[in-house]
Structure 1
Amino acid sequence: MVKRKRNEVVFPNAAGIDVGGSSHFVAVPADAATDSVREFGAMTGDLQAMADWLLSCGVDVVALESTGVYWIPVFEVLEQRGLTVWLVDARQLKYVPGRKSDVQDCQWLQTLMSFGLLRAAWRPAGEVCVVRAIARQREVLLAEQASWVQRMQKTLIEMNIQLTEVLSDIMGMTGQAIIRAIVAGERAPKALAKLRHRRVKASEEDVLKALTGNWRDEHLFVLGQALSMYDDLARHLAQCDAKLDALLDERGRAKIDIGKPPRAGSLARTEFGVRQAMANWAGVDLTRINGLGVTSVMKLLSEIGPDLRRFETVKHFCSWLGLSPGTKISGGKVLACATKRSANRARQTFKMAAMALSHSDSALGGYYRRLCSRMDKPRANTAVAHKLARMFYFMLTRGEEFVDRGQQNYEEQQLQRSIAALKRRATALGFELNPKSAMLSNANANANGLVT
C-alpha cells in the first residue's frame, strides 16, 4: 500500500457542488477563477452553463452531493460533458466545522475532494440504469395492481360475496370470470357458479352459496372502478414487459445456449426466452443457482448489472450489499458483529432467494436448514444470502458454472467433517474413537485414514 503525505493534494482540479431543489452552488479551486464559488439555476440551460464554466476552469473531477433526486440531472449533464463525477453521501460532511450554509458546503466538498478524503457512491453503467428504471416502474405497477385487487376483495366482502372462502386467488381464471360477469350485469348465483373451472377444489354447491349476497349499487360501482383500474395497470405492465424484452435483447447480443426451450405452454416459453436473454447479457446462466429464479435474476441484473469490476474483491461486494458481518472491537473485545441495516434492493433480493431454499432438496437447502438448527432464522437467512451473493459474484467475474451436488452429497460431507472434528478432539484429549462399521459405511470412510 502506497502511503501518501498528510497534506498531499490528490485531485488538484476538483470541484464541489452543493445540490439544491432550485439552485446549485459550485466551488472550484481558488486559483482557477476570480470568483471560486458561483450559483447556478436548476434549468437545463443553467446546467449546461455550469458545465461550460467548470471546463473553462480546468476542472476534471466533480464531487456531487446526493440530495433526493435533484442530483440526477446534474450528474447526467456533467457526465455527458466528459467530467468525472463522484456522487458523495451528504453524511460525510456532517461533522465539518463552521456554520452550515450552501456556500460552506460546496467549499468543503471541493476541499475534501482535492485531498481524496471523500468516498464515491457506486452507480451502475448507463445501460444498466435504463433497465433499472423500467424494472422499478414495473414493481410500482405490480404494487398498485395488488392494492386494487385488495379493494375488489373488500368490496366483494361488503356485498357478502365470499369468493375468498372458496377460491385461493380471486384473480385466477374462475375469480376473474365471475367478477367480470358481475360487473357486466349478471346477478344470478347459478349462472355465476357455472363459471367455476373444473380444477377448483370447492364444489359448485359451495361456490353457489358464496355467490349469494346483496347487490347494492354503490358496491357494484366501486367494484367496476377497481376492475377497470386493474385492467389499465395490466395494460401498462404489458408495455413494461415489452420494453424490458427489447432492452434485454439489445444488450444480450452474444448468444449463449442454455438448453432447449420447454414444450409446455406459452408462459413457460416466455420465461425461457427471458432467461436466455439474461444469460446472453450476463455471459452466464445465473438461474442455475438454487433459489435465484428468473424474477430474482432480472432484479439483480437491473440493480447491479453484469459488470462487477467496481468491486475489487467479493468481500467488497458483500460489504456493499450489507451482508458482511460487522466488526466493532474495543480493547481487544468484539462488541458487536451484526450486519448493518440497509435498504439495498439487491440485498433484499438475495434474502428473499435464501428464504426460498427452506424446502429445497439441494445442497444450499441443506445448508440453510443446518444453519437454522444452530441459530435463529433471520441470522441463518442473512448467512445464506451472503453465500448466494458470493456465488453470484464468482459467476459474473470468473465465468464459473454453478453445479448443485445435491442435499445427500452435502450431508455426507458434513458427516465427514464431524467425524474428523471428533477425531481431532479425541486425540487432543488422549483418547481413540472406534466407531461401528455401519457408521463407517454411512460416512463413506474409505482408506483415507478417517478411522477414529
Structure 2
Amino acid sequence: RFRDHHAFLVRLHLDHYDQLTDSVGQLDARIEEAMAPFRPALDLLDTIPGINRAVAEVIIAETGGDMARFASARHLASWAGVCPGHHESAGRTKNTKVRPGNPYLKGALGLAAFGAVRTKDTYLQARYKRLTARRGPLRALVAVEHSIITAIWHMLTDNVTYRELGGAYFTQRDPERATRRAINALNQLGYTVTLNPRGATA
C-alpha cells in the first residue's frame, strides 16, 4: 500500500529533517566560534554542580562573562531575578515574590538548580533539603539559584574553580543545631533520646 505519493511525502519529510540538521550544525559551529574567547570562563562554570556546557554558554551570553559590570554578587543576583523581594510594613520586613530579571539567565539558573539538587553529597543539595522543610520546594530552589549565581560572580571575578563544601557542610558548621534537630525528630516519633559522647564508657 506504499505508493508513489507516500514516497513523495516521506522524501519531503526526510529532506526537511536534513535541512534542520544542517542548520543545527551551522548554529553549533557559530556558537563554538563565538564562545572561543570565553573558553576559560566556560571551563570554570562547568565545575559547578548542575551546570553543563549549554547552560554555561547561556550564562556567558547573557552576562558577557565580565563581572566588572556588576558591583557585587548581590547586584548580579538582583539583575538575574533570583533575589527575593522585600516589603516593609510597620517596621516589619516580609518576603515577597522574586523580582523580575533577565528571563534567559533566570531560565538557565533554573536548569542548573534542578540539576544541582539531584547531585549527591554536595553543598547545593544540602542547602535545598535544609530549606525545603521550612520554606517549601519553590523558595528553596530560588535559594539554590541564588547560591549558584553568587558562586559564579566570585569564580569569574577571581578566576577560580568552584569549591565544593560538601553535603555535611551545615552539620559541621553548627553541630549543636544538627543534634537538636535530630533529637526533636526522634522525639516526634515517640523515642526518648539519651546522648553519650563517643568513647564514653557506660
1:228 paired to 2:12: no
Distance of 2:136 and 2:88 partners within structure 1: 24
Q: Distance in 2 between matches of 1:348 and 1:375?
A: 21
TM-score normalised according to structure 1 size: 0.37
List gaps (5 residues or longer) in structure 1.
Answer: 1-213, 253-277, 423-433, 442-452
2:187 matched residue in structure 1 = none
- Match of residue 358, structure 1, among 117, 134, 155: 117
For the structure 1 residues 248 and 322, does the alpha-carbon distance in structure 2 shift closer, same or farther, using more than 3 Å as the test? closer
Per the TM alignment, residue 341 of structure 1 is displaced from its structure 2 partner at its CA by: 3.8
1:239 has 2:26 as partner: yes
SS state at 2:61 partner: helix
Change beyond 3 A, Cα 1:410–1:222: farther
CA shift digits 1:103-139 (9 cap, x unpaired): xxxxxxxxxxxxxxxxxxxxxxxxxxxxxxxxxxxxx
| Cα 1:244–1:417 shift into 2, 3 Å | farther
* Structure 1 counterpart of 2:131: 371
CA contact (8 A) 1:328 1:336 kept: yes
Matching of residue 319 in structure 1 with residue 78 in structure 2: yes
Deviation at 1:335, TM superposition (A): 5.2
Equivalent position SS for 1:328 = strand
Instruction: State which structure, 1 or 2, has the greater radius of gyration over its C-alpha atoms.
Output: 1
Q: Which amino acid letter does the alignment assign opposite residue 141 of structure 2? A: N
Question: How do 1:31-430 residues align onto structure 2 when only pairs under 5 Å count?
Answer: 215=2, 221-249=8-36, 251-252=37-38, 278-279=39-40, 282=41, 285-334=44-93, 336-342=95-101, 344-361=103-120, 362-407=122-167, 409-410=168-169, 412-413=171-172, 416=175, 418-419=177-178
One-letter amino acid of the counterpart of residue 34, structure 2:
L
- The equivalent residue for 1:147 is none
CA distance in 1, matches of 2:94, 2:165: 38
- The structural deviation recorded for 1:227 is 2.8
- TM-superposed deviation, 1:419: 4.7
Q: Tell whether the 8 Å contact from 2:117 to 2:124 is kept in structure 1 after alignment.
A: no
Aligned pairs (5 A) from 1:433-448: 436-437=195-196, 440-441=197-198
Matches of 2:172 and 2:127, distance apart in 1: 11
The separation in 2 between residues aligned to 1:416 and 1:338, in whole angstroms, is: 32
Letter matched to residue 377 of structure 1: P
TM-score (normalizing by structure 2): 0.77
What letter corresponds to residue 364 of structure 1 in structure 2? L
Aligned residues: 186
Q: Is the 8 A contact 1:284 1:399 kept in 2?
A: no
Deviation at 1:284, TM superposition (A): 6.0
Moved beyond 3 Å, runs of 4+: 214-224, 333-336, 419-422
Give the whole-Å Cα distance in 1 for the aligned partners of 2:81 and 2:91.
24
* Preserved contact between residue 324 and residue 386 of structure 1 (Cα < 8 Å): yes
Does structure 2 conserve the Cα–Cα contact (< 8 Å) formed by 1:357 and 1:368? no
Alpha-carbon contact 2:113-2:145 (below 8 Å) kept? yes
Unaligned runs of 5+ in 2: 182-192
How far 1:378 sits from its partner (Å)?
1.8
Percentage identity across aligned positions?
25
Deviation at 1:374, TM superposition (A): 2.8
CA gap of 1:226–1:313, structure 2 versus 1, over 3 A, is same
Cα distance in 1 for partners of 2:70, 2:20 equals: 38
Q: Which residue identity does 1:293 align to in structure 2?
A: N
If asked which structure has higher relative contact order (CA below 8 Å, sep 6+), I would say 2
Q: Secondary structure of the residue that 2:117 maps to in structure 1?
A: coil
Q: Is the 8 A contact 1:324 1:339 kept in 2?
A: yes
Structure 2 residue matching 1:353: 3-state secondary structure:
helix
Tell me which amino acid in the other structure corresponds to 2:22: R
- C-alpha distance in 2, partners of 1:366/1:404? 12
Q: Contact (CA 8 Å) 1:283, 1:399: kept in 2 or not?
A: no
Question: What is the DSSP-based 3-state SS (H/G/I as helix, E as strand, rest coil) of the residue aligned with 1:334?
Answer: strand
- Deviation of 1:334 (Å): 3.4
